[in-house]
C-alpha cells in the first residue's frame, strides 16, 4: 500500500498533543515524529502541519521537515530492534534460569533471631524536648528525638511526613521545614552509603570467614604443661616479671592481624595496656578467627623487653604460648555502636562503652588518683572526714537551683552543698572535710556546668581570713604534688604536656583591683562599656526619692545592680546615703583575666550583696565580705570560700536580706548560741580541678556518667 493511499496524519505545534492526540484533523499530534511513530513504517502517509497562511488551518509538511524528523525516527527504530533482540535473549535466559530455580528449595533458618514485624509509617513524630531515639517508636505519644532517627525508621525515600516540636503556642507539632529535612537527609544518605559499603565488605569478609572457620575448626591448641607454671599478674606490675611466664586477664583493646600466621593484640586490664604477639596455630584457631575487640580473654606467655628502637606500652611485649577466650564480643566490637564520628548525644548515651577508650580510661584513673590525693592531704593535715546527708530541707546557694523531692509528705531537696553540716561538726571534731556529691538544677548546657558534681568541702574553726587563704594555697599545691609523685603521675603529662606546677605564693587580688585590671586591659562588656565597682552617694533627704527611681532604671540599663530595695530607702535616705552600687564580674571577663595572667589567682573580698547570706563581712569595710574565689587558667573558678558569720544577730540579718526563713535553720543557728567562734571554709569542684590538671576542654569528659540539663542516662 503506497503512502498516498494511507489516511493522512495531522500535527499542530500549537493545538496538538503527542499523548492524547490520535492524528486526526480534530485531535492532531504535536510533532511530525509522533506522526511517523503512528504510521509505523515507510512510505509515510501525507503529514499535515500548521498552515502559515491566513484562512488555512493545515498545510502538507515540507520535505526538509520530513527529512529531519525521519532521521530521528530511523534511529529510534534501530534502538527498538536492538532492545527487542536483547529482550528476547534475556527472556530465553530467564526461562532457562526459571527452570533451574524450580529445582532449588529454601527454608527459614530457625537458628537466626526471630524476625520483627514492621509497618510503613504515614507520619513520624519527633520532639527535641520529649522524644527519645532509643525508646521512642515515632508515634505521637512516643516520638523520636531527632529527624535522623525518623529517617532511619522510614528506611527509604520518599519519607513519610515528619513532624517536629511546634514553635506556636497551643500546637504540639508542626511539619518539619524543608531546610531541616535536607540537612538531616544528607546525613542519612551518607549513613546509607556507609551501610552499603559496610554490607558489601561484610559479605566478602563473610565468605572468607566461612572458609577460614571451616579450616580453623580443625585446629586445636593446648597449654604446654612442660613450661613453667604461669603467674597471674596485672599489666601494671609487668616490669617485675620480665623474662618470666605469666598469665594476664583482660579485654582485647586492639587486634591487628598480619596474614594467617601473625596476630597482635593490645590487651587492657584496667591497670594499663600490653602488646601481645600470637604466632602460627595460636592465631589460626576457631576462636582466633572469631575474636573481636572488647572480647575478654586470658593470655599465657613470657614478657620480653623490646629491643632498642621499638616501642610498646611498658617497653615490653608478651610472647604468647597459649590463650583462652572467656567472653566473645559482637562483630565490630565497640566500633559497631560508637566511634570518633558518633554524634555527641550518641556518645553520651553510650558512655558505658566510651569509658573503655584509652584517653577516657586514663582520665577516670587520674580522677581516682586525685581523690586519693585530697584524702591523703587532709589526713596529713589532721582533718577528720565526715559524711553529711544528701537529702536536706535547707538551701545554701539559692532556691532557683534546688532539686525538689517529696520526702514522706514533706518538701525536701538534694543538697547544694554540705557546708552547713560541716560547720556543726567543728565543736566535736575540729577541722573537718567531706567529699560528696552536690546537686544544682543548672538551666544550662555549658562546658563548665553539671547538675551533679563531686564537691570537696572543708571547714576550720579558730582561723582568720589570711589563714583560710594560706590553707587553700597549701591544698592546691600539695594535692598537685601528691598526684605527680603517685605511680600514675606521668599520665598528667601524657594528657597535658604543657602542665605547669603552680608556684607559691598565689596572686591575691581584691575584687576592686580586678575591676581596675579589666579596665586597664580593655576587657569590656558586649556594648563596649567597662565593668564598674562604684561607691556612690545618690542624694540627700527624702526629696531625692524620685531621682533615685530614675537612676534605678538607668543603672539597670547599664547592668549595674542597686543593692537596696525601696523598702530600705527610709533607713538609707535618713542616713543621707545609699550604701553601694555594685556589679558582679561575669564568667567570661573573669576567664579572660585569668588566662592573660596565666597563673592561679585568689580573687578576694567580694561585695556583700552579691554573696551568700552566711559570709562574714570585712572588719575594715562592712560592704565587703571575707570571701575568695580561686581562679585557674583555662578553667576559671574552681574554689569558692569565705569566713562564716559567727554572730547570731548578723546571721539573722543575712536571712532577712535574702528573704529566707530562719526556722528550718534552727540547728545551724544553734551553732551561734552554744560557743560560737570565728571559722571559715570552702568548696572545691573536683571536675573543674580535673579539667585544669588534665587539660580537658569539657567538664563532662572527667565524669564517669555526667548529669546535665535533659540528660540522666545511662
Full residue range of the structural domain in which residue 185 is found: 123-194
Quick one: pLDDT band at residue 340, thresholds 50, 70, 90?
low
- The answer to whether position 292 is within a domain reads yes
Together in a domain, 573 and 596: no
Together in a domain, 38 and 58: yes
∠ CA 46-51-57 to the nearest 5 degrees?
A: 90
- The answer to whether position 354 is within a domain reads no
pLDDT of residue 584: 61
Cα separation, 535 vs 678, in Å, equals 28
**DSSP string of 294-355?**
T-EEEEEEEEEEPPTT---GGGEEEEEEEEEEEEPPPTTGGGGT--TTS-HHHHHHTHHHHT
Whether 53 has a pLDDT exceeding 90, the answer reads no
307: left (phi over 0), alpha (psi -120 to 50) or beta: beta
pLDDT of residue 381: 98
Quick one: pLDDT band at residue 3, thresholds 50, 70, 90?
low
- How far is C-alpha 189 from the chain's CA centre? 23
- The answer to whether position 424 is within a domain reads yes
pLDDT of residue 186: 86
Together in a domain, 593 and 670: yes
CA proximity to 479, closest of 694, 702, 704, 693:
693
Q: What is the CATH number of the domain that holds 485?
A: 3.30.930.10
Whether 595 has a pLDDT exceeding 50, the answer reads yes
Q: What is the CA radius of gyration of the chain?
A: 40
Together in a domain, 265 and 323: yes
Longest CA–CA span in the chain (Å) reads: 129
Together in a domain, 550 and 635: no
* C-alpha distance from residue 694 to each of 84, 504, 698 (Å): 73, 20, 11
| Least confident among 213-217, 406-410, 537-541, 651-655 | 537-541
Question: What torsion, rounded to 10 degrees, do the Cα atoms 72, 73, 75, 79 define?
Answer: 140
- The answer to whether position 280 is within a domain reads yes
| Least confident among 1-15, 393-407, 654-668 | 1-15
Q: What is the tens place of the pLDDT at every residue in 287-313?
A: 998 999 999 999 999 999 998 888 899
Together in a domain, 473 and 597: yes
Sign of the Cα torsion 604, 610, 616, 619 reads: positive
Average pLDDT (385-397) is: 90
- The answer to whether position 106 is within a domain reads no
Average pLDDT (114-141) is: 81
Whether 283 has a pLDDT exceeding 70, the answer reads yes
Together in a domain, 161 and 172: yes
Average pLDDT (686-701) is: 95
Together in a domain, 312 and 182: no
- The answer to whether position 558 is within a domain reads yes
- The answer to whether position 634 is within a domain reads yes
Number of domains in the chain: 5
Location of C-alpha cell 538544677: 441
Helices (H) and strands (E) in the chain, counts: 18, 27
Together in a domain, 698 and 618: yes
pLDDT of residue 565: 39
Whether 319 has a pLDDT exceeding 90, the answer reads yes
CB 598 within 8 A of CB 636: no
pLDDT of residue 84: 86
Q: What is the tens place of the pLDDT at every residue in 142-170?
A: 999 998 898 888 888 888 899 998 888 77
Average pLDDT (273-283) is: 95
**Domain boundary pick from 19, 51, 79:** 79
Whether 386 has a pLDDT exceeding 70, the answer reads yes
pLDDT of residue 260: 87
Residue 43 burial by Cβ neighbours in a 10 Å radius (0-12, 13-18, 19+): exposed
Q: What is the CATH number of the domain that holds 168?
A: 3.30.1910.20
CA proximity to 30, closest of 8, 53, 14:
14
Whether 257 has a pLDDT exceeding 90, the answer reads yes
Share of the chain above pLDDT 90, in %: 51
Higher pLDDT, 193 or 230: 230
Together in a domain, 453 and 468: yes
Q: What is the tens place of the pLDDT at every residue in 365-384?
A: 999 999 999 999 999 999 99
pLDDT of residue 121: 57
Whether 502 has a pLDDT exceeding 90, the answer reads yes
Together in a domain, 135 and 66: no
Together in a domain, 601 and 688: yes
**Domain boundary pick from 175, 194, 213:** 194
| Residue 252 phi, psi (nearest 5) | -75, 105
Average pLDDT over all residues of the chain = 86
Q: What is the tens place of the pLDDT at every residue in 569-594?
A: 333 333 333 333 444 677 788 888 99
- The answer to whether position 103 is within a domain reads no
Amino acid at each position: 500500500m503506497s503512502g498516498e493511499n494511507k489516511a493522512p496524519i495531522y500535527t499542530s505545534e500549537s493545538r496538538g498533543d503527542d499523548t492524547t492526540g490520535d492524528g486526526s484533523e480534530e485531535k492532531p499530534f504535536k510533532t511530525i515524529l509522533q506522526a511517523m511513530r503512528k504510521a509505523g513504517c515507510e512510505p509515510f502517509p501525507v503529514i499535515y502541519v500548521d498552515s502559515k497562511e491566513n484562512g488555512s488551518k493545515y498545510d502538507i509538511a515540507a520535505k526538509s521537515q520530513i527529512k529531519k524528523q525521519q532521521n530521528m525516527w530511523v534511529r529510534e527504530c534501530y534502538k527498538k530492534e536492538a532492545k527487542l533482540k536483547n529482550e528476547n535473549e534475556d527472556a530465553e535466559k530467564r526461562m532457562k534460569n526459571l527452570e533451574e530455580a524450580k529445582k532449588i528449595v529454601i527454608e527459614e533458618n530457625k537458628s537466626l533471631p526471630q524476625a520483627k514485624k514492621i509497618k510503613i509509617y504515614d507520619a513520624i513524630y519527633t520532639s527535641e524536648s520529649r522524644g527519645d531515639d532509643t525508646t521512642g517508636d515515632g508515634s505521637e505519644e512516643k516520638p523520636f528525638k531527632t529527624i535522623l532517627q525518623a529517617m532511619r525508621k522510614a528506611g527509604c525515600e520518599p519519607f513519610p511526613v515528619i513532624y517536629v516540636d511546634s514553635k506556636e503556642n497551643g500546637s504540639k507539632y508542626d511539619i518539619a521545614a524543608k531546610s531541616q529535612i535536607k540537612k538531616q537527609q544528607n546525613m542519612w544518605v551518607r549513613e546509607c552509603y556507609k551501610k552499603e559499603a559496610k554490607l558489601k565488605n561484610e559479605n566478602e569478609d563473610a565468605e572468607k570467614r566461612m572458609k577460614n572457620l571451616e579450616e580453623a575448626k580443625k585446629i586445636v591448641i593446648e597449654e604446654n604443661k612442660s613450661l613453667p607454671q604461669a603467674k597471674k599478674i596485672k599489666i601494671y606490675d609487668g616490669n617485675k616479671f620480665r623474662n618470666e611466664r605469666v598469665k594476664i586477664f583482660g579485654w582485647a583493646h586492639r587486634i591487628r592481624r598480619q596474614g594467617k600466621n601473625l596476630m597482635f593484640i593490645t590487651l587492657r586490664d584496667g591497670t594499663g595496656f600490653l602488646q601481645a604477639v600470637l604466632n602460627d596455630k595460636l592465631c589460626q584457631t576457631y576462636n582466633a578467627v572469631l575474636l573481636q575487640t572488647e572480647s575478654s580473654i586470658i593470655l599465657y606467655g613470657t614478657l620480653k623487653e623490646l629491643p632498642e628502637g621499638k616501642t610498646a606500652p611498658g617497653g615490653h611485649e608478651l610472647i604468647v604460648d597459649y590463650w583462652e577466650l572467656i567472653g566473645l564480643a559482637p562483630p565490630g566490637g565497640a566500633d559497631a555502636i560508637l566511634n570518633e564520628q558518633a554524634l555527641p548525644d550518641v556518645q553520651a548515651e553510650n558512655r558505658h562503652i566510651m569509658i573503655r577508650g584509652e584517653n577516657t580510661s586514663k582520665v577516670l584513673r587520674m580522677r581516682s588518683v586525685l581523690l586519693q590525693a585530697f584524702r591523703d592531704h587532709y589526713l596529713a593535715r589532721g582533718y577528720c572526714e565526715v559524711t553529711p546527708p544528701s537529702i536536706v530541707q535547707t538551701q545554701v546557694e539559692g532556691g532557683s537551683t534546688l532539686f525538689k523531692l517529696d520526702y514522706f509528705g514533706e518538701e525536701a531537696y538534694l543538697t547544694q552543698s554540705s557546708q552547713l553540716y560541716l560547720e556543726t561538726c567543728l565543736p566535736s571534731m575540729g577541722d573537718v572535710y567531706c567529699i560528696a556529691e552536690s546537686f544544682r538544677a543548672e538551666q544550662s548546657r555549658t562546658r563548665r556546668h553539671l547538675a551533679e558534681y563531686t564537691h570537696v568541702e572543708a571547714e576550720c574553726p579558730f582561723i582568720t581570713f589570711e589563714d583560710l587563704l594560706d590553707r587553700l594555697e597549701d591544698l592546691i599545691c600539695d594535692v598537685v604534688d601528691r598526684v605527680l609523685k603517685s605511680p600514675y603521675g606521668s599520665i598528667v603529662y601524657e594528657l597535658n604536656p604543657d602542665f605547669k606546677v603552680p608556684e607559691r605564693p598565689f596572686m591575691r587580688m581584691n575584687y576592686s583591683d580586678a575591676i581596675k585590671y579589666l579596665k586597664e586591659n580593655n576587657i569590656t562588656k558586649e556594648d563596649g562599656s567597662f565593668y564598674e565597682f562604684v561607691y556612690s552617694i545618690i542624694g540627700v533627704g527624702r526629696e531625692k526619692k524620685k531621682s533615685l527611681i530614675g537612676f534605678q532604671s538607668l543603672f539597670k540599663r547599664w547592668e549595674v545592680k542597686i543593692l537596696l530595695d525601696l523598702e530600705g530607702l527610709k533607713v538609707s535616705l535618713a542616713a543621707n546615703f545609699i550604701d553601694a552600687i555594685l556589679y558582679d564580674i561575669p564568667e567570661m571577663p573573669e576567664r579572660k583575666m585569668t588566662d592573660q595572667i596565666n597563673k592561679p589567682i585568689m580573687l578576694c573580698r567580694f561585695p556583700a550583696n552579691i554573696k551568700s547570706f552566711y559570709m562574714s563581712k570585712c572588719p575594715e569595710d562592712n560592704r565587703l565580705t571575707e570571701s575568695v574565689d580561686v581562679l585557674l587558667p583555662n578553667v576559671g573558678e574552681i574554689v569558692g570560700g569565705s569566713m562564716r558569720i559567727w554572730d547570731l544577730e548578723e546571721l539573722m540579718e543575712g536571712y532577712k536580706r535574702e528573704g529566707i526563713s530562719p526556722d528550718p535553720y534552727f540547728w545551724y543557728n544553734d551553732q551561734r548560741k552554744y560557743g560560737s567562734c570565728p571559722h571559715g571554709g570552702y568548696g572545691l569542684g573536683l571536675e573543674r580541678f580535673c579539667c585544669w590538671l588534665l587539660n580537658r576542654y569539657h567538664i563532662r569528659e572527667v565524669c564517669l556518667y555526667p548529669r546535665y540539663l535533659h540528660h540522666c542516662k545511662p
